[in-house]
Structure 1
Amino acid sequence: MSIQVEDYFARDTFQKMKAFADKQETPFVLIDTQMISQAYDDLRAGFEFAKVYYAVKANPAVEIIAKVKVIFERLKEEDGIELKLINMGGGFPANYITRTNSLETYAEEIIRFLKEDFGDDLPEIILEPGRSLIANAGILVSEVVLVARKSRTAVERWIYTDVGKFSGLIETMDEAIKFPIWTEKNGEAEEVVIAGPTCDSADIMYENYKYGLPLNLAIGDRLYWLSTGAYTTSYSAVEFNGFPPLKAYYL
């Protein structure tokens, strides 16, 4: 699968980030703070009447709103309790291999359902935006440390990088999140297995889901893991098998 950087970053933003990244030693995460600020502004614009807190759990499922309305009404009628606030939860998604809707779209849908049930008398709303504020603003930059096949006749090519599950990519466990991976190398590609550097048998990011990477990819080439601003440095182990924690830079 060919990744187009322009699907995830404005061209000038990516060029600025890459120019900085080229001067640093891998692995590290690079965060564009302007993108975080813009995501926050977009969230506030979409939910102008809501308070925004940073948290990660729950889910802003619009089908729950009607049930919440019933709870509001029953408590008021039966017990005289007047509720005035809904925590909409959150964990709004980020753009990985599978793209998501914009924050504006989520806001429009949630507000539509709120107004259908509450009319103009909306309760106070709290949102927990989660990874949507920062994930898309990050690039994890790694370097290929080995390219190998398990035997002379092995079909699969293994790409080992200097970052893995224990150094920031724990969300690849069970291949749950499939990060967009970009490289400067071009040309014919083939499906590969991607693994980390620790020699631990669990340190394999993608073995079943096959990424297509160029045949001419070699030791020393860089891989750019897009949408990695969230849950990378915070999940990075400290000196696991002697590897230092993942570095982070903010532009």
Structure 2
Amino acid sequence: MTGEIDAQPGENARKPSIGTQSVQQGFDLMQHIPPLWLDPETHLARRQPDHPILYFSPRVLHEVADRFLTGFPGLVTYAVKANPHPAVLSNLVAAGVSAFDVASPAEMEAVRAASADAVMHYNNPVRSDVEIAAGISHGVASWSVDEASELDKLADVPRDCEIAVRFALPVQGAAYDFGSKFGAAPEEAIALLQRVAAEGWTPALCFHPGTQCEDASAWVEYIHAARRIVDAAGVKVARLNVGGGFAANRDGVAPDLETVFSAIGTAVCDAFGDAAPELICEPGRAMVSEAFTLAARIKGLRQGGGVVYLNDGIYGGLVDFRDMGLPGRVTVVSAEGQHRSAPRKPRIVFGPTCDSLDRLPDGLPLPEDSVTGDYVLFPGLGAYSSAMSTQFNGYGLSDVATVIELSGQAGTRG
């Protein structure tokens, strides 16, 4: 009888029935659900981790996703390279993001694990034959090219796919641009666009204004250049991908994304009129940055506290500071979870590895009463932190804790 315990002599007693096994499996699964913490301070005070850790707020990620989905005048795709963590991808799917910008077969697999029917755009324009085959196998819907030899490689891509010609301009306004690596000159883009149309794919155009672009005029200039390319090619494009590059909050002032969205929409209307193509964007940094705060512990202080050693650095989750500079938002929390509030002074900060290059740009302002064992909280580190972290010297960033609030972003606690 179902649920009956068999305890015959000489046999293993207390064999659970199938129904009992199912219940036990359910309990086992529940035990593997990670805890949801109130905020980073609560977790730090109770666990006092001696390794760097990222705190993730799904609520914040959903809010930012909604900001893009409701504000941008077109299709929003997420650039997986910024943070491919499964929790990020699954939460974006839950928030309504249905398309993803992928750059490798590994990112395709990550997207497929989050959603069986997500649409993938493969916008890394240089690919091996093996990578192209993987894209076809995963059902990539949109591809980009910026050179004739790369288009030659795409001969086996189904003709019902979209191929977007990526072009580049010498436009200012970003922290650093991608034009030196990717993007055809406008005259080359004209010929590529004509060939894409002639060979039967759906023609499109795409560009990227560069990382951390805070000047909406960069998008405006690119959009008008796109119209000139279309006119010269004599090809009607189905869609225009205006790239990523949307700025994240680095200095405590939230970027005005809505102004950029409005400028993009107005520029498309002005440039294309009634022939305006559908729009696509591919935010990465701006989508995911605010949803994470990174906590690194102070391992040691030297020279009267003027030199600080952390358990994370440029080989770990703080790698982005090397190229982007120091952020404007940093707080220090004691091992008991209380914020340090003394006046700040700039410090020299080293990471934990034995490499002397493991050093942040000089001048990170930390409270004067910071001590060894405290935690330095870096808000807005959801992008390019865990994605670029190494395991050099056995250090690195891999731990993520889920929280309701990222109170480290608010300064001192009440």
Q: TM (normalized to structure 2)?
A: 0.50
What is aligned with 1:43? 68
Name the aligned partner's letter for residue 220 of structure 2: V
State whether residues 233 and 248 of structure 1, in contact with CA within 8 Å, keep that contact through their aligned partners in structure 2: no
The 1:107/1:82 distance shift into structure 2, 3 A limit, reads same
C-alpha displacement at 1:244, in angstroms?
A: 4.7
State whether residues 52 and 396 of structure 2, in contact with CA within 8 Å, keep that contact through their aligned partners in structure 1: no
2:255 counterpart of 1:101: yes
Task: Find 1:73's aligned residue among 226, 231, 237.
Answer: 231
Name the aligned partner's letter for residue 347 of structure 2: V
2:77 counterpart of 1:53: yes
Cα deviation, 1:145-171, whole Å, max 9, x if unaligned, reads: 11101xxxx8x8101111111121111
State whether residues 89 and 128 of structure 1, in contact with CA within 8 Å, keep that contact through their aligned partners in structure 2: yes
C-alpha displacement at 1:98, in angstroms?
A: 6.9
What is aligned with 1:178? 326
Which structure 2 residues correspond to residues 156-175 of structure 1 after superposition, within 5 A? 157-174=306-323
The 1:244/1:16 distance shift into structure 2, 3 A limit, reads closer
2:240 counterpart of 1:86: yes
Q: Secondary structure at the match of 1:134?
A: helix
State whether residues 326 and 364 of structure 2, in contact with CA within 8 Å, keep that contact through their aligned partners in structure 1: no
Distance between the aligned counterparts of 1:31 and 1:221, measured in 2?
Answer: 20
Q: Which has the larger radius of gyration?
A: 2
Task: Find 2:398's aligned residue among 239, 246, 249.
Answer: 246
Name the aligned partner's letter for residue 73 of structure 1: D
C-alpha displacement at 1:61, in angstroms?
A: 2.1
C-alpha displacement at 1:45, in angstroms?
A: 1.1
Choose between structure 1 and 2 for higher RCO, CA contacts under 8 A separated by at least 6 residues.
Answer: 1
Cα deviation, 1:180-216, whole Å, max 9, x if unaligned, reads: 2112112233221111111210111122xx1222221
State whether residues 144 and 161 of structure 1, in contact with CA within 8 Å, keep that contact through their aligned partners in structure 2: yes
The structure with the largest strand share of the pair is 1
Distance between the aligned counterparts of 2:54 and 2:232, measured in 1?
Answer: 49
C-alpha displacement at 1:124, in angstroms?
A: 1.2
What is aligned with 1:4? none
Which structure 2 residues correspond to residues 7-18 of structure 1 after superposition, within 5 A? 16-18=39-41
The 1:54/1:15 distance shift into structure 2, 3 A limit, reads same
C-alpha displacement at 1:21, in angstroms?
A: 4.4
What is aligned with 2:357? 202
Which structure 2 residues correspond to residues 116-195 of structure 1 after superposition, within 5 A? 116-149=270-303, 157-174=306-323, 176-179=324-327, 180-183=329-332, 184-195=339-350
C-alpha displacement at 1:100, in angstroms?
A: 5.2
What is aligned with 1:220? 373
* Deviates most, 112-121 or 221-230: 112-121
Distance between the aligned counterparts of 2:52 and 2:219, measured in 1?
Answer: 37
What is aligned with 2:144? none
Distance between the aligned counterparts of 1:132 and 1:66, measured in 2?
Answer: 24
State whether residues 138 and 229 of structure 1, in contact with CA within 8 Å, keep that contact through their aligned partners in structure 2: yes
Query: What percent identity do the matched residue pairs reach?
Result: 25
State whether residues 192 and 213 of structure 1, in contact with CA within 8 Å, keep that contact through their aligned partners in structure 2: yes
State whether residues 310 and 352 of structure 2, in contact with CA within 8 Å, keep that contact through their aligned partners in structure 1: yes
Distance between the aligned counterparts of 2:56 and 2:325, measured in 1?
Answer: 19
Q: Secondary structure at the match of 1:194?
A: strand
Distance between the aligned counterparts of 1:194 and 1:138, measured in 2?
Answer: 21
Q: Secondary structure at the match of 2:361?
A: strand
What is aligned with 1:6? none
Name the aligned partner's letter for residue 177 of structure 1: G
Could you tell me which runs of 5 or more consecutive residues in structure 1 were left unpaired when the two chains were aligned.
Answer: 1-13
Could you tell me which runs of 5 or more consecutive residues in structure 2 were left unpaired when the two chains were aligned.
Answer: 1-36, 82-177, 179-207, 210-217, 333-338, 404-414
Name the aligned partner's letter for residue 56 of structure 2: I
Distance between the aligned counterparts of 1:73 and 1:181, measured in 2?
Answer: 49
Q: Secondary structure at the match of 1:237?
A: coil
What is aligned with 1:34? 59
Distance between the aligned counterparts of 1:94 and 1:191, measured in 2?
Answer: 23
C-alpha displacement at 1:123, in angstroms?
A: 0.6
The alignment covers a number of residue pairs equal to 224
C-alpha displacement at 1:23, in angstroms?
A: 3.4
C-alpha displacement at 1:219, in angstroms?
A: 0.4
State whether residues 28 and 247 of structure 1, in contact with CA within 8 Å, keep that contact through their aligned partners in structure 2: yes
